[in-house]
Amino acid sequence: MGKHVIVGAGQVGAHLAGRLVEQGHDVVVVTRSGSGPDGVERIAADVTDQARLTKIATGADTLYNCVNPPYNRWTQDWPPMASSFLGAAEATGAVLVTLSNLYGYGPVDGPMTEDLPLATTGAKGRVRAKMWEDALAAHQAGRIRMTELRGSDYYGPGSTDAGPVGEVRFVAPLLAGKKVSYLSDPSVPHSWTYLPDVAEALAIAGTDERAWGRPWHVPTGPAVSTLDVAARLCELAGAPAPRVAALPRPVFNLIGLFNPLVKELRETRYQFDKPFVLDSSAFQSTFGMAPTSMDDALRAIISARGQRTPAGN
């Protein structure tokens, strides 16, 4: 078993730490506050401090970048953090595994595959694309070993409201029989990536050299609409039929004048205005990992909230 250093203890980092501990690895979780799940070594550090990060990662087999700075500060916060990760990986020899997303592709027609160009013109997408390009150049130069995993919007136990189907603003009100507002047309097909599947894929990528040197898409089930997710969630939980309504664009734009997060979402709203489909067949066929079925995922969400699914569901 090896030593694995995870930077970030949010909705993905916590799941990843638990998965690696289950596998018998020594796990170190790094956050600015020193917080983290039980059963791991927890260290407080500023990830932009490359010397500090290098010291922590010394002797590690894998260094995971599971950080997610405030959405409205990506262009300021990501460059120094990404540079620190590259420097620490080069100095220590730890494999760098970066958790990323699909922003770099920009709007596309048809399913997204890893061979698509990173052609986005959006500011946040260009930040992520530059991070990948810099890491790939370092890998190709023999300075580091690395890979990057890209997922769609997350759902699952502990999911935050950074995503559109998070627990507080989506799951909880639906199960309580309340109406939910959605930022676009809820009938449009969309790919949803299950949080424990993200953790499993990261753990695989950090320990299997076949993953290194290229990007991968996290195993993700067939695209389904938000209405379908809501309907099945409520059916499995025995909750009232869901009420999900699109937030009118003028209202969305108005909220953005006062809410920095909503303002930033204008750049990526295209992901919800038309089908947004992720193809993860490359990872699935290479590593033999299938995505968790949506029914099983939704049952886990319901169970984690202390509710039981009715018999027969």
Asked whether residue 186 falls in the same domain as residue 292, the answer is yes
Q: CA 89, CA 146: separation in Å to the nearest integer?
A: 9
Q: Which domain holds residue 279?
A: 153-191+222-304
Strands 62-65 and 41-44, bridge-based pairing: unpaired
**Residue 252 pLDDT:** 64
Asked whether residue 34 falls in the same domain as residue 126, the answer is yes
Q: Is residue 214 part of a domain?
A: no
Q: Is residue 13 part of a domain?
A: yes
**Residue 57 pLDDT:** 98
**Residue 225 pLDDT:** 96
What's the CATH number where 261 sits? 3.90.25.10
**Residue 165 pLDDT:** 85
**Residue 164 pLDDT:** 79
pLDDT digits (tens, 9 = 90+) for 259-280: 766 667 778 889 999 999 999 9
Q: Using CB atoms within 10 Å of the CB of residue 2, give its burial: 0 to 12 exposed, 13 to 18 middle, 19+ buried.
A: middle
**Residue 184 pLDDT:** 87
Q: Using CB atoms within 10 Å of the CB of residue 27, give its burial: 0 to 12 exposed, 13 to 18 middle, 19+ buried.
A: buried
Asked whether residue 68 falls in the same domain as residue 129, the answer is yes
Asked whether residue 142 falls in the same domain as residue 274, the answer is no
Which ranges of the chain have pLDDT less than 70?
Answer: 161-162, 251-252, 254-258, 260-263, 307-313
Asked whether residue 58 falls in the same domain as residue 202, the answer is yes
Asked whether residue 245 falls in the same domain as residue 287, the answer is yes
**Residue 33 pLDDT:** 94
DSSP state of 266: G
What's the CATH number where 90 sits? 3.40.50.720
Asked whether residue 126 falls in the same domain as residue 184, the answer is no
Tell me which residue of 238, 116, 313, 51 sits closest to 125, measured CA to CA. Answer: 116
Q: How many Cα atoms occupy the beta-carbon half-sphere of 65 within 13 Å?
A: 32
Q: Which two tokens stand for residue 199?
A: 């953790």
Residue type for position 161: D
Tell me which residue of 67, 89, 73, 93 sits closest to 12, measured CA to CA. Answer: 67
Distances (CA, A) of 39 to 9, 45, 91, 198: 13, 19, 27, 20
